[in-house]
Amino acid sequence: MKSFLFKTASFLALSFLLIALIFFLFVRSSKKISKEYTFSNEHKVLFIGDSHIQNAIIDSLCPGFLNMGKNSETYYYSYHKLKAILATENKIERVLLSFDYHNLSNYSDAFFLGEKSPVISSEYFHLLPKKYQIQLLVSNWDKLPTFTRQIIKESTRIADRSNRPFPGKFRNDFFRTQAEDSSIQKRIQTQFYSKKGLNDFSQFNLNYLDSIRLLCQKKEIYFNLIQAPVYSDYLDLIPEEYIEKYRSTTYKFSKETLVVPFDSTTKSYFLPDGDHLSYEGAEVFTEQVLNLDVFNCPKNISTNKNLQ
């Protein structure tokens, strides 16, 4: 009986080691591909951040722009993604990081090692340091089979090499929408409140905001903060504590914060939550960004009649 148990345990241990070896070979391959990736020489301005910037900048309207925003991306993931991007062959001269009121809330911390981490971390896994990879695996031990399958699926996608090995691209399929009071209320509640009351600020996010800035300085790349517009009624409901914290943070980055004129009172420029731009809103916002002096983009480059 003891011999049988020993053989069974040995078989299971060897099987686990074999699976672990195959898994990390997949991850290693993805990391290698990301290091070898070459960006187009025309890409000079990189936009990163979460869904707010992902669906706000139509990068096809300016040849020098590259929007690599990704939904639910915290600054921790933005930092490691940017670090990997800047280690490739590229001609990037300026990085614009999306910064809005909700980025100050600790509700987003759950996307790192919390209960929401499996939602997006599989796409960044190959870009992370080994110690954080292990942390993610341990923190998601109860979901390990599903989590590892997601990582392998992402590695398979990257192995195709026709896909960019870094998460994020412009995406906005929201046409003819408008802000709605009920959705705005729900969004505000999710981002700034919990059962305990007002959410604390995310020191985790703020730390990596500084890290991204320092990384750009080290690489001698211009760094800017940019705020994707929110609907005026949404703005009115943001807790005053967050308004003040945002002001103090942008004051710290005053020389690097871009101010983009935008009509935030037009409902049709937003999704129902009032927190994201519709495609029509993205068209207008992109045009306003193009007009900023820091970019010197060619005029009249739009192929969309609504922008001409």
pLDDT in tens, 47-105: 999 999 999 999 999 889 999 999 999 999 999 999 999 999 999 999 999 999 999 99
> Residue 86: which of 219, 217, 214 has the closest Cα?
219
Enumerate the β-bridge partners of residue 47. 67, 96
Answer whether 221's CB lies under 8 Å from 93's CB. Answer: yes
CATH number of the domain at 43-109+169-306, please? 3.40.50.1110
Query: Mean pLDDT, the chain, as a whole number?
Result: 88
Model pLDDT, residue 110: 85
Least confident range from 7-16, 113-122, 144-153, 266-275: namely 7-16
Q: What does the CA dihedral 272, 275, 281, 282 come to, rounded to 10 degrees?
A: -130
Least confident range from 5-9, 34-38, 228-232, 265-269: namely 5-9
How far, in whole angstroms, is CA 242 from its chain's centroid?
21
- The strand pair at 197-198 and 222-226 is best described as unpaired
How far, in whole angstroms, is CA 277 from its chain's centroid?
16
pLDDT tens digit string along 122-154? 999 999 999 999 989 888 888 888 888 899 999
DSSP readout, 216-274? HHHTT-EEEEE-----HHHHHHS-HHHHHHHHHHHHHTGGGEE-----TT-GGGB-TTS
Band the pLDDT of 284: cuts 50, 70, 90.
Answer: very high
Least confident range from 18-32, 95-109, 257-271: namely 18-32
Model pLDDT, residue 13: 47
Amino acid found at 112:
F
Answer whether 38's CB lies under 8 Å from 88's CB. Answer: yes
Residue 303 pLDDT > 90: no
> Residue 124: which of 162, 68, 170 has the closest Cα?
68
Answer whether 166's CB lies under 8 Å from 46's CB. Answer: no
Residue 6 pLDDT > 70: no
Rounded to whole angstroms, the Cα distance separating 138 from 282 reads: 39
Rounded to whole angstroms, the Cα distance separating 258 from 196 reads: 35
Residue 14 pLDDT > 80: no
List the domain boundaries for the chain.
Answer: 43-109+169-306
Higher pLDDT, 229 or 300: 229
Higher pLDDT, 185 or 162: 185
Enumerate the β-bridge partners of residue 258. 226
Strand, helix or coil for residue 289: helix
Strand, helix or coil for residue 128: coil
Least confident range from 25-29, 101-105, 291-295, 298-302: namely 298-302
Answer whether 89's CB lies under 8 Å from 133's CB. Answer: no
